[in-house]
Amino acid sequence: MTYTLQHETPVGPVTITATGEAVTQIRFGTTVPEGSAAVPETAATPLLLKAAAQLREYFAGTRRDFSLPLAPAGTPFQQSVWQALQTIPYGETRTYGHIAMQIGHNKSFRAVGMANNRNPIVIVIPCHRVLGYDGKLTGYAGGLDIKERLLALEKRR
């Protein structure tokens, strides 16, 4: 069973979904995933509360690294991309090409882009830190304005 908590952030609401063991999704907006039970904060699981607290700390500028058990659902290729994203230091960026080389798929920058697009755990798996080959902002699940705000937040700290 998964449980979902809706949490307000400075860039809008996010929906946090977790099992008893791991966070499975953090998505922008308030859509509750099918098969998940939405719970109010007063009835949230310890893991949902921990995830919400760590997001608050991130936006307050006191957290640079997340320490949450994660279980995003995806293909082995997607998993390798998402693991690589977690190695991008706070306040830094990489290109899709850099990530492709890091995972040993040098020519697969478009596939890296698609895996980035399908990242089910935004912010914590920092897909916002990936830029186009020319260093410009490219698509983001929350919109380019949110991507820009997240990058600016990290640069200020």
Pick the catalytic residue from 127, 130, 150, 151: 127
Which residue is it, tokens 């990530």?
A: 99
Non-local CB neighbours of 146 within 8 Å, separated by 6+ positions: 11, 12, 28, 128, 140
Q: Does the annotation mark 119 as catalytic? A: no
Are 157 and 64 in contact, with CB atoms under 8 Å apart? Answer: yes
- In angstroms and rounded to an integer, the radius of gyration of the C-alpha atoms of the chain is 15
Provide the annotated active-site residues: 127
